[in-house]
Amino acid sequence: MLKKRIIPCLDIKDGTTVKGINFEGLRNAGNPIELAKKYENEGADELVFLDITATIEERKTFVELVKNIAKELSIPFTVGGGISSVEDVRKLLEAGADKISINSSAVKDPKLISDLAKEFGSQCVVVAIDTKFVDGSDWVFVKGGREMTNLKTFDWAKKVEELGAGEILLTSMDGDGTKNGFDLRITKLISENVNIPVIASGGAGKTEDFENVFNQTKATGALAASIFHFGEIKINDLKSELKNKNINVR
């Protein structure tokens, strides 16, 4: 059985860490290199770095910043934002990323998923799915949550697995930054219907939220940002509490 992973996420805009609610109203959360070091020391299992405006601004992820963060880390490091080609991924892996995360570019060109899986191996390819419940269905959103697609979340999750993704990072836009708990319904639906690991994201506010997502869904990882950035929960404390509740964390 896969051990559960606790994964802090650094949302980067203009070289600094930011955090919003429902993908809006961003505020500064600190220096990404210092935060990365802090999380590794606190026992994070992995780190995710998302350059959240790279796609909208049509530019590439900050390769230099990736290099500087990678130097400080020994835990797996996933990088996303503005990635649209095999060449982009090669540069980021050379800069020290272990995995890459694609979202808008995968929707635009699904073949990119299989191209990357062939070139670098499925274990390197994370497909991020930003999902929102609209008019009775779950829909995929792109461009940092700004644009609704005509893809249903369930169908897209099945498709990305088929194309060779090694992992899905599933963010509930309805839960993002609210601290009301992970979206257990959509997380359960997706994690029970694909055979690749699913990381739950969006809505973590307290220890019980992690307990619920691990007990009530098949998510193998849980990602959070603001509760870690603003010191509301320390990762080592969270892991100790989860272990006490018999949850098999790393």
For the chain, the three-class secondary structure string (H helix, E strand, C coil) is: CCCEEEEEEEEEECCEEEEEECCEEEEEEECHHHHHHHHHHHCCCCEEEEECCCCCCCCCCCHHHHHHHHHHCCCCEEEECCCCCHHHHHHHHHCCCCEEEECHHHHHCCHHHHHHHHHHCHHHEEEEEEEEEECCEEEEEECCCCEEEEEEHHHHHHHHHHHCCCEEEEEECCCCCCCCCCCHHHHHHHHCCCCCCEEEECCCCCHHHHHHHHHHCCCCEEEECHHHHCCCCCHHHHHHHHHHCCCCEC
Q: How far apart, in whole angstroms, are the C-alpha atoms of residue 150 and residue 141?
A: 9
In the structure encoding, which two tokens stand for residue 249, read together? 């964390």
Q: How far apart, in whole angstroms, are the C-alpha atoms of residue 219 and residue 248?
A: 12
Write out the catalytic residue numbers: 11, 130
